[in-house]
Structure 1
Amino acid sequence: LVDLLLFPSVYLFLSLVSECDGRVIGRMGQSITLPCKYDIKINGPREMCWGRGPLPSSGCTNQLLATDGHKVIKESRASSRYQLQGRLDEGDVSLTIMNVTEEDTGLYGCKVEIFGCAKRWEHQEEGT
Protein backbone atom coordinates (compact mmCIF):
# COMPACT_ATOMS: atom_id res chain seq x y z
CA LEU A 1 0.00 0.00 0.00
CA VAL A 2 1.09 3.54 -0.68
CA ASP A 3 0.54 6.16 2.02
CA LEU A 4 -0.23 9.72 1.01
CA LEU A 5 0.97 12.43 3.37
CA LEU A 6 -0.55 15.89 3.52
CA PHE A 7 1.51 18.72 4.91
CA PRO A 8 -0.72 21.77 5.33
CA SER A 9 0.79 25.20 5.76
CA VAL A 10 -1.32 28.15 6.84
CA TYR A 11 -1.27 31.74 5.65
CA LEU A 12 -3.69 33.87 7.69
CA PHE A 13 -4.72 37.31 6.56
CA LEU A 14 -7.20 37.65 9.41
CA SER A 15 -7.01 36.19 12.87
CA LEU A 16 -10.77 35.60 12.72
CA VAL A 17 -10.23 32.34 10.88
CA SER A 18 -8.44 29.60 12.74
CA GLU A 19 -7.28 26.07 12.17
CA CYS A 20 -4.14 24.44 13.44
CA ASP A 21 -1.22 23.50 11.27
CA GLY A 22 -0.73 19.76 11.08
CA ARG A 23 -0.22 16.69 8.96
CA VAL A 24 -2.96 14.63 7.38
CA ILE A 25 -2.09 11.02 6.55
CA GLY A 26 -4.21 8.91 4.24
CA ARG A 27 -4.01 5.54 2.53
CA MET A 28 -4.94 4.94 -1.05
CA GLY A 29 -8.52 3.76 -1.32
CA GLN A 30 -9.54 5.45 1.94
CA SER A 31 -11.03 8.89 2.57
CA ILE A 32 -9.06 11.86 3.88
CA THR A 33 -10.24 15.23 5.18
CA LEU A 34 -8.33 18.48 4.67
CA PRO A 35 -9.41 20.80 7.50
CA CYS A 36 -10.68 24.33 6.92
CA LYS A 37 -12.90 26.18 9.40
CA TYR A 38 -13.89 29.74 10.13
CA ASP A 39 -15.82 31.42 12.95
CA ILE A 40 -19.33 31.70 11.53
CA LYS A 41 -20.64 33.29 14.76
CA ILE A 42 -18.38 36.30 14.23
CA ASN A 43 -18.36 36.45 10.42
CA GLY A 44 -21.71 34.95 9.42
CA PRO A 45 -22.05 32.59 6.44
CA ARG A 46 -19.28 33.28 3.89
CA GLU A 47 -18.51 32.29 0.34
CA MET A 48 -15.55 29.95 0.05
CA CYS A 49 -13.87 27.67 -2.44
CA TRP A 50 -11.50 24.72 -2.59
CA GLY A 51 -9.08 24.45 -5.48
CA ARG A 52 -6.01 22.58 -6.65
CA GLY A 53 -2.79 24.48 -7.05
CA PRO A 54 -1.64 27.81 -5.62
CA LEU A 55 -4.40 30.18 -4.51
CA PRO A 56 -4.74 33.30 -6.67
CA SER A 57 -5.78 36.66 -5.21
CA SER A 58 -9.41 35.99 -6.15
CA GLY A 59 -11.29 32.73 -6.54
CA CYS A 60 -9.60 29.33 -6.60
CA THR A 61 -7.32 27.74 -9.18
CA ASN A 62 -8.84 24.58 -10.66
CA GLN A 63 -11.89 24.96 -8.43
CA LEU A 64 -13.21 21.72 -6.96
CA LEU A 65 -16.05 22.92 -4.75
CA ALA A 66 -17.45 26.17 -3.44
CA THR A 67 -20.22 27.39 -1.16
CA ASP A 68 -22.38 30.47 -1.21
CA GLY A 69 -22.26 30.36 2.59
CA HIS A 70 -25.36 28.18 2.81
CA LYS A 71 -25.08 25.40 0.24
CA VAL A 72 -22.37 23.57 -1.70
CA ILE A 73 -21.82 24.50 -5.35
CA LYS A 74 -20.04 21.70 -7.22
CA GLU A 75 -17.72 22.51 -10.07
CA SER A 76 -19.04 20.59 -13.09
CA ARG A 77 -15.58 19.21 -13.93
CA ALA A 78 -14.84 18.12 -10.36
CA SER A 79 -15.10 14.52 -9.28
CA SER A 80 -17.94 13.44 -7.02
CA ARG A 81 -15.16 12.14 -4.72
CA TYR A 82 -14.70 15.72 -3.45
CA GLN A 83 -17.21 16.52 -0.72
CA LEU A 84 -17.84 19.01 2.07
CA GLN A 85 -19.18 16.76 4.81
CA GLY A 86 -18.78 19.19 7.70
CA ARG A 87 -21.43 21.47 9.16
CA LEU A 88 -21.55 24.52 6.90
CA ASP A 89 -23.81 26.19 9.47
CA GLU A 90 -20.91 25.94 11.96
CA GLY A 91 -18.21 27.19 9.56
CA ASP A 92 -16.74 23.74 8.85
CA VAL A 93 -15.77 23.75 5.17
CA SER A 94 -13.22 20.93 5.39
CA LEU A 95 -12.69 19.02 2.14
CA THR A 96 -13.13 15.24 2.17
CA ILE A 97 -11.56 13.29 -0.69
CA MET A 98 -13.19 9.88 -1.04
CA ASN A 99 -11.29 6.83 -2.29
CA VAL A 100 -7.89 8.58 -2.47
CA THR A 101 -5.67 7.76 -5.47
CA GLU A 102 -2.13 8.74 -6.46
CA GLU A 103 -3.62 11.33 -8.81
CA ASP A 104 -4.87 13.20 -5.74
CA THR A 105 -1.29 14.15 -4.86
CA GLY A 106 -0.72 17.89 -5.21
CA LEU A 107 -1.43 21.27 -3.68
CA TYR A 108 -4.92 22.07 -2.38
CA GLY A 109 -6.16 25.45 -1.20
CA CYS A 110 -9.15 26.56 0.87
CA LYS A 111 -10.18 30.20 0.58
CA VAL A 112 -12.80 31.83 2.79
CA GLU A 113 -13.75 35.39 1.88
CA ILE A 114 -14.03 37.52 5.03
CA PHE A 115 -14.65 41.26 4.75
CA GLY A 116 -12.74 41.54 1.48
CA CYS A 117 -9.83 39.46 2.73
CA ALA A 118 -9.26 35.76 2.40
CA LYS A 119 -7.92 32.96 4.50
CA ARG A 120 -5.45 30.97 2.50
CA TRP A 121 -5.08 27.40 3.64
CA GLU A 122 -2.79 25.46 1.39
CA HIS A 123 -2.45 21.71 1.69
CA GLN A 124 0.50 20.10 0.00
CA GLU A 125 0.49 16.35 -0.24
CA GLU A 126 3.33 14.08 -1.15
CA GLY A 127 3.07 10.40 -1.98
CA THR A 128 5.60 8.15 -0.30
Structure 2
Amino acid sequence: MKILVLLLALLTVSECEKNVTGRTGQSITLPCIYDIKINGPTEMCWGRGPLPSSGCSNQLLATDGHKVMEESRASSRYQLEGRLDEGDVSLTIMNVTEEDAGLYGCRVEIFGWFNEEKHHVHLTVNRGEKMIKESPAG
Protein backbone atom coordinates (compact mmCIF):
# COMPACT_ATOMS: atom_id res chain seq x y z
CA MET A 1 0.00 0.00 0.00
CA LYS A 2 2.87 2.39 0.81
CA ILE A 3 4.31 1.80 -2.65
CA LEU A 4 0.97 2.70 -4.26
CA VAL A 5 0.76 5.96 -2.26
CA LEU A 6 4.36 6.82 -3.18
CA LEU A 7 3.70 6.06 -6.85
CA LEU A 8 0.60 8.27 -6.86
CA ALA A 9 2.56 11.09 -5.22
CA LEU A 10 5.27 10.82 -7.88
CA LEU A 11 2.74 10.89 -10.73
CA THR A 12 0.94 13.97 -9.49
CA VAL A 13 0.66 16.86 -11.91
CA SER A 14 1.72 20.20 -10.48
CA GLU A 15 -1.27 22.58 -10.47
CA CYS A 16 -1.89 26.07 -9.18
CA GLU A 17 -4.77 28.51 -9.51
CA LYS A 18 -4.76 32.32 -9.42
CA ASN A 19 -7.20 35.19 -9.82
CA VAL A 20 -6.50 38.30 -11.90
CA THR A 21 -8.73 41.37 -12.22
CA GLY A 22 -8.49 44.16 -14.77
CA ARG A 23 -10.47 46.79 -16.64
CA THR A 24 -11.73 46.89 -20.21
CA GLY A 25 -9.30 48.54 -22.61
CA GLN A 26 -6.24 47.63 -20.52
CA SER A 27 -3.59 45.03 -21.20
CA ILE A 28 -3.74 42.27 -18.58
CA THR A 29 -1.08 39.66 -17.85
CA LEU A 30 -2.00 36.16 -16.66
CA PRO A 31 0.96 34.61 -14.79
CA CYS A 32 2.66 31.36 -15.78
CA ILE A 33 6.31 30.66 -14.93
CA TYR A 34 8.25 27.40 -14.86
CA ASP A 35 11.76 26.49 -13.70
CA ILE A 36 13.73 26.55 -16.95
CA LYS A 37 17.04 25.94 -15.12
CA ILE A 38 15.83 22.50 -14.01
CA ASN A 39 13.59 21.57 -16.97
CA GLY A 40 15.25 23.39 -19.88
CA PRO A 41 13.20 25.13 -22.59
CA THR A 42 9.98 23.19 -23.12
CA GLU A 43 6.76 23.34 -25.12
CA MET A 44 3.75 25.02 -23.56
CA CYS A 45 0.31 26.32 -24.51
CA TRP A 46 -2.39 28.69 -23.28
CA GLY A 47 -6.10 27.93 -23.70
CA ARG A 48 -9.54 29.08 -22.58
CA GLY A 49 -11.40 26.96 -20.07
CA PRO A 50 -10.17 24.04 -17.96
CA LEU A 51 -7.13 22.18 -19.25
CA PRO A 52 -7.88 18.74 -20.72
CA SER A 53 -5.73 15.66 -20.05
CA SER A 54 -3.31 16.79 -22.77
CA GLY A 55 -2.74 19.98 -24.74
CA CYS A 56 -4.93 23.07 -24.37
CA SER A 57 -8.63 23.34 -25.20
CA ASN A 58 -9.61 26.46 -27.14
CA GLN A 59 -5.90 27.14 -27.71
CA LEU A 60 -4.83 30.80 -27.76
CA LEU A 61 -1.13 30.24 -28.49
CA ALA A 62 1.72 27.78 -28.02
CA THR A 63 5.53 27.77 -27.95
CA ASP A 64 8.18 25.29 -29.01
CA GLY A 65 10.18 26.19 -25.89
CA HIS A 66 12.06 29.02 -27.60
CA LYS A 67 9.45 31.10 -29.44
CA VAL A 68 5.72 31.42 -30.07
CA MET A 69 4.56 29.27 -32.97
CA GLU A 70 2.74 31.93 -34.98
CA GLU A 71 0.38 29.41 -36.60
CA SER A 72 -0.88 28.60 -33.07
CA ARG A 73 -1.81 32.21 -32.19
CA ALA A 74 -5.61 32.71 -32.15
CA SER A 75 -5.33 36.54 -32.24
CA SER A 76 -2.65 39.24 -32.27
CA ARG A 77 -4.14 40.40 -28.93
CA TYR A 78 -2.46 37.39 -27.26
CA GLN A 79 1.23 37.99 -26.52
CA LEU A 80 4.02 36.48 -24.43
CA GLU A 81 5.90 39.57 -23.30
CA GLY A 82 7.97 37.89 -20.58
CA ARG A 83 11.41 36.32 -20.95
CA LEU A 84 10.83 32.89 -22.50
CA ASP A 85 14.53 32.14 -21.94
CA GLU A 86 13.87 32.52 -18.19
CA GLY A 87 10.71 30.39 -18.14
CA ASP A 88 8.25 33.33 -18.08
CA VAL A 89 5.39 32.30 -20.36
CA SER A 90 2.80 34.65 -18.83
CA LEU A 91 0.02 35.57 -21.26
CA THR A 92 -0.69 39.25 -21.96
CA ILE A 93 -4.10 40.03 -23.42
CA MET A 94 -4.12 43.40 -25.18
CA ASN A 95 -7.17 45.71 -25.10
CA VAL A 96 -9.22 43.45 -22.82
CA THR A 97 -13.00 43.26 -23.29
CA GLU A 98 -15.69 41.95 -20.94
CA GLU A 99 -15.93 38.86 -23.19
CA ASP A 100 -12.34 37.97 -22.19
CA ALA A 101 -13.43 37.23 -18.61
CA GLY A 102 -13.32 33.59 -17.54
CA LEU A 103 -10.98 30.68 -16.93
CA TYR A 104 -7.63 30.32 -18.72
CA GLY A 105 -5.14 27.47 -18.58
CA CYS A 106 -1.38 27.32 -19.09
CA ARG A 107 0.19 23.88 -19.63
CA VAL A 108 3.96 23.47 -19.54
CA GLU A 109 5.14 20.13 -20.94
CA ILE A 110 7.85 18.78 -18.61
CA PHE A 111 9.77 15.73 -19.85
CA GLY A 112 8.53 12.44 -18.36
CA TRP A 113 5.15 10.91 -17.63
CA PHE A 114 2.60 13.03 -15.77
CA ASN A 115 5.17 15.78 -15.13
CA GLU A 116 3.46 18.72 -16.81
CA GLU A 117 2.71 21.89 -14.90
CA LYS A 118 -0.86 23.18 -15.10
CA HIS A 119 -1.72 26.74 -14.14
CA HIS A 120 -5.34 27.97 -14.09
CA VAL A 121 -6.13 31.68 -13.96
CA HIS A 122 -9.58 33.17 -13.39
CA LEU A 123 -9.80 36.54 -15.17
CA THR A 124 -12.37 39.09 -13.98
CA VAL A 125 -12.87 42.12 -16.23
CA ASN A 126 -14.54 45.24 -14.88
CA ARG A 127 -15.94 47.91 -17.14
CA GLY A 128 -13.43 50.77 -17.54
CA GLU A 129 -14.12 54.39 -16.78
CA LYS A 130 -15.91 56.17 -19.62
CA MET A 131 -14.01 59.11 -21.05
CA ILE A 132 -15.94 62.34 -20.52
CA LYS A 133 -15.47 64.72 -23.41
CA GLU A 134 -15.49 68.30 -22.24
CA SER A 135 -17.10 70.85 -24.49
CA PRO A 136 -15.09 74.03 -25.10
CA ALA A 137 -16.13 77.07 -23.05
CA GLY A 138 -17.77 79.52 -25.13
TM-score, normalised with respect to structure 2: 0.74
- Structure 1 residue 46 corresponds to structure 2 residue 42: yes
- Give the number of the structure whose alpha-carbon radius of gyration is greater: 2
RMSD: 2.1
**1:89-118: per-residue Cα shift (whole Å, max 9, x none)?**
000000000000011011100000112321
Alignment of 1:8-47 (within 5 A): 13-14=13-14, 22-47=18-43
Of 65, 69, 75, 2:65 maps to: 69
Of 62, 66, 86, 2:82 maps to: 86
Q: Which runs of 5+ in 2 are unaligned?
A: 1-11, 127-138
Task: Read off the aligned partner of 1:13 and give its amino acid letter.
Answer: V
* Partner SS for 2:52: coil
Task: Read off the aligned partner of 2:98 and give its amino acid letter.
Answer: E
- Within 2, Cα distance between the matches of 1:40 and 1:61? 24
CA contact (8 A) 1:49 1:63 kept: yes
Q: Which runs of 5+ in 1 are unaligned?
A: 1-11
Task: Read off the aligned partner of 1:30 and give its amino acid letter.
Answer: Q
Task: Read off the aligned partner of 1:95 and give its amino acid letter.
Answer: L
Of 86, 91, 95, 1:99 maps to: 95
Identity %: 73
- Within 1, Cα distance between the matches of 2:32 and 2:110? 14
Q: How many residues align?
A: 113
Corresponding residue of 2:124: 126
